Amino acid sequence: MKQIPISFEFFPPKTPEGAEKLRTVRQQLYAIKPEFCSVTYGAGGSTQVGTFSTVQEIQQEGTPAASHFSCVGATREGVRTQLKQLQDMGITRLVALRGDLPSGHGLGGEFQYASDLVAFVRAEMGDVFHIEVAGYPEMHPQARSPEADLKALKAKVDAGANGVITQYFFKPDAYFRFVDDAQRMGINVPIVPGIMPISSSTQLMRFSDACGAEIPRWVRLRLQAFGDDTQSIQAFGHEVVAQLCQRLIQGGAPSLHFYTMNQSAAVLALCKALQL
Ligand code: FAD
């Protein structure tokens, strides 16, 4: 199998036990030598302390760390302060997002779209940060059309993003079509597929409903048929996702970004199967 770079995504742990467990998970995953590890950021800044401290730990462990950064509800002054904090910690990578506030909260804030955040980071900090943005092979759920969503992606790249990480998906053709359409529109930065390992059927269905990622009918039916049989779900999930990754690598994906869900087993098994 062709060798391509990989990266891992974590979320900030909520408890000291979670933080300790994540340290162990990271050490296991560092064996695969990721290009970088990223840490998600709760919309509205709800996890800012946990995100920044986890990012700092990763950086201190010797692996380049990327902080996700969502701008919904944020002020320019607040973002300026936090960017400076990240710079002082030696962080040079951002995943710049709009984010979603929980329902009931107005959008508010001084930024409307992720493209506004990217433009602000470039205007304030020049080239201090390598900036990734989010892309949606199956369209962002709030977009008016696939074309409008691609235009939104182009606006983020034109504002200064260096690369795109996609929402997860299970149909490789959705990704290949998205990349072709993006290139036709003049988006010439790497578009890295986001990969969601399948470890739990209920969790996957919940996430997918929320973010608009389609689980193919044949996959959904099989997962449902396994019921509580976690071992069978994981074995089947491994096969499905390993085949997806193989097709993506063969089809020219520049890199793979794994949504680890702060677990190592499924990702390690996938990387082993793919000889990464
Ligand atoms: P935007 O690019 O701003 O797009 C949002 C919507 O507005 C889209 O429908 C787009 O088509 C539309 N749009 C954009 N610009 C315009 C315009 N000029 N005119 C009209 N419409 C426009 N969420 C978090 O809270 N924390 C995280 O850490 C996080 N990490 C993520 C990582 C990845 C790789 C991905 C794919 C998603 C992540 N998310 C995260 C989820 C993300 O915040 C949501 O999907 C959010 O709804 C959209 O964020 P965005 O940055 O894509 O927004």
**Do residues 113 and 119 lie in contact, with contact meaning Cβ atoms separated by under 8 Å?**
no
Task: Give me the residues paired with residue 258 across strands.
Answer: 8, 195
pLDDT score of 102:
67
pLDDT score of 105:
60
Strand bridging mode 6-10 / 163-168: unpaired
Interatomic CA distance for residues 185 and 188, integer angstroms: 9
Q: For 50-83, write each residue's pLDDT tens digit.
A: 999 999 999 999 999 999 999 999 999 999 999 9
pLDDT score of 107:
59
pLDDT score of 122:
98
Whether the model clears a pTM of 0.75, i.e. scores above it, the answer is yes
pLDDT score of 179:
98
Q: Is 124 annotated in the active site?
A: no
pLDDT score of 104:
56
CA 178 to chain centre: 17
Ligand 1, atom 53: closest residue by C-alpha: 98
Maximum alpha-carbon separation in the chain: 53
Query: What residues flank ligand 1, with Cβ below 6 Å?
Result: 40-41, 43, 68, 70, 95, 97-100, 113-115, 134, 140, 142-143, 148-149, 152, 155-156, 165, 167, 194
Expressed in angstroms and rounded, the spacing between residue 229 Cα and the centre of ligand 1 is 35
pLDDT score of 127:
97
pLDDT score of 238:
98
Ligand 1, atom 8: closest residue by C-alpha: 143
Strand bridging mode 6-10 / 36-39: parallel
Interatomic CA distance for residues 260 and 275, integer angstroms: 18
Q: What is the DSSP letter of 43?
A: G
In the chain, the DSSP E strands lie at 6-10, 36-39, 65-70, 93-97, 130-135, 163-168, 191-195, 256-259
- Tokens 């800044």, located at residue: 45
Low-confidence ranges of the chain (pLDDT < 50): none
Expressed in angstroms and rounded, the spacing between residue 260 Cα and the centre of ligand 1 is 20
pLDDT score of 131:
98
DSSP characters over 204-254: HHHHHHHHTPPPPHHHHHHHHHHTT-HHHHHHHHHHHHHHHHHHHHHTT-S
